Amino acid sequence: MFTGIIEETGIIRKIRTGAHSSQLTVGAGTIMVDMKIGDSINTQGVCLTVTGFAKDEFTMDVMAETLNRTSFRQLRTGSKVNLERALQLSGRLGGHLVTGHIDGTGKVTGVRKEDIATRITVSADKNILKYIVDKGSVALDGTSLTVARTDEHSFDVYLIPHTQLITTLDAIRQGDQINIECDIIAKYLEKLTSAGDKRIDLNFLAEHGF
């Protein structure tokens, strides 16, 4: 589990490609402290497992499902990636609950400077947009952001200068593909309220005294 508060950006140093998978070697600094084999690292929004590491780099395997569902096929040697270590229960939850399990990708359709902030517009499939709500949370490339506007085709978020400074979103451009993880609470609520023969709606609540 993660928070969407990026700790640093790493650099892709090597990509080893197989028939249906790949292995990434990422150069990093801050997150290398106390690193162990098997640690989970949120990499550009995707939860990956450390399979090896040296002084200033680590390796992770990427399976076919991840390649098919994310923007990872766009990564090249030298690409920057957002990095965050798994949440410690003793720490503060500064963003929101992020699993690192990508729901899909969106397309950046607008990048506009507004005073100190930058407004990003992202178009996405309706199966993703149904979980996006005004003033709700969404993780883009692993970064926890607040939704500023949404409609049936797209949604907007704002990047403050600090976010632009410490993440890869500073380099985002119109036409780019971006990893999207919706708020997991919304997905659980949908499952619970539509489970079984009875759907929990206003009539159901009235029948039970609510």
CATH code where residue 32 lies: 2.40.30.20
Q: Give the model's pLDDT for residue 192.
A: 78
Does the structure show a pLDDT above 80 at 193?
A: no
- Mean pLDDT (the chain) is 93
Does the structure show a pLDDT above 90 at 206?
A: no
Q: Report d(CA 10, CA 164) in Å as an integer.
A: 15
Q: Give the model's pLDDT for residue 54.
A: 95
* Assigned domain for 159 exists: yes
Structure-model confidence comparison of residues 204 and 141, the more confident one: 141
The number of distinct structural domains making up the chain is: 2
List pLDDT tens digits, range 9-33. Answer: 999 999 999 888 999 999 999 999 9
| Full domain range(s) for residue 157 | 104-192
Q: Give the model's pLDDT for residue 149.
A: 97
Do 128 and 176 have their domain in common? yes
Can you tell me which residue has the tokens 């692993």? 142
Do 76 and 134 have their domain in common? no
Structure-model confidence comparison of residues 200 and 88, the more confident one: 88
Q: Give the model's pLDDT for residue 197.
A: 58
Do 141 and 61 have their domain in common? no
**Gyration radius of the chain over CA positions:** 18
Average pLDDT over residues 161-170: 96
* Listed residue (72, 76, 57) closest to 102, CA to CA: 72
Do 65 and 131 have their domain in common? no
User: What is the share, in percent, of the chain residues with pLDDT greater than 70?
Assistant: 97
List pLDDT tens digits, range 105-129. Answer: 999 999 999 999 999 999 999 999 9
Identify the band that residue 209 occupies on the pLDDT scale cut at 50, 70 and 90.
Answer: confident
List pLDDT tens digits, range 53-90. Answer: 999 999 999 999 999 999 999 999 999 999 999 998 88
List pLDDT tens digits, range 40-56. Answer: 999 999 999 999 999 99
Q: Give the model's pLDDT for residue 210.
A: 80
* Assigned domain for 99 exists: no
Average pLDDT over residues 130-135: 96
* Assigned domain for 200 exists: no
Do 123 and 179 have their domain in common? yes
